[in-house]
Homo-oligomer: A and B are copies of this chain.
Amino acid sequence: MKISTRGRYALRLMADLANNPNDEYIALKEISQRQEISIKYLEQIVSTLCKAGYVKSSRGVAGGYKLAKPAEEYTVGMILRLIEGNLVPVKCMENEPNCCPRYEKCATIGVWERINDAVNGVVDSITLAELVNNPHSVEFGCKE
């Protein structure tokens, strides 16, 4: 029941971008240093975010990345779900709807559905803006 490092790093990357007050592109190198995450690993993660249209990129000197939309318009769920593929607690819930051949007889599926709803309830209710404005966080330095 763990969030992968890719998912956690993606959130920190997005939070780092959201924390940038100006509308300029930020190079991965900078983020890499601030977050202490390998630049090569960040490249892969930001590539997914870019293809999904979550961030905009600019190549060449003085290039980098910035959020495509205001931080208020991203939820934690959007970001995690994009990077992780999904957040469902069991494989049989990955493919819609109720694909398990024994769904009707399953004693435990109700548990997984309720866990799924609970997790979604949390991640879909927190925006990137709330993450950044959290007084708890002056920096984004936590290893997670």
> Which chain A residues have a beta carbon within 8 Å of chain B's beta carbons?
1-3, 8, 11-12, 15, 76, 84, 86-92, 100, 102-112, 114-115, 118-119, 121-123, 126, 131-132, 134, 136-144
Contact = CB atoms under 8 A, between A and B. Distances in A.
A141 B1 contact: no
Contacts of A126: 110-111, 114
Contact of A118 (B12, B103, B104, B121): B121
A141 B102 contact: yes
A136 B107 contact: yes
A136 B49 CA distance: 40
Contacts of A1: 1-3, 84, 86-89, 119
A134 B84 CA distance: 32
B84 A110 contact: no
Contacts of A102: 139, 141-143
Contact of A106 (B76, B115, B118, B140): B140
A143 to B, nearest CB: 6
Given A1-B3, A108-B131, A121-B118, A100 B136 contact: no
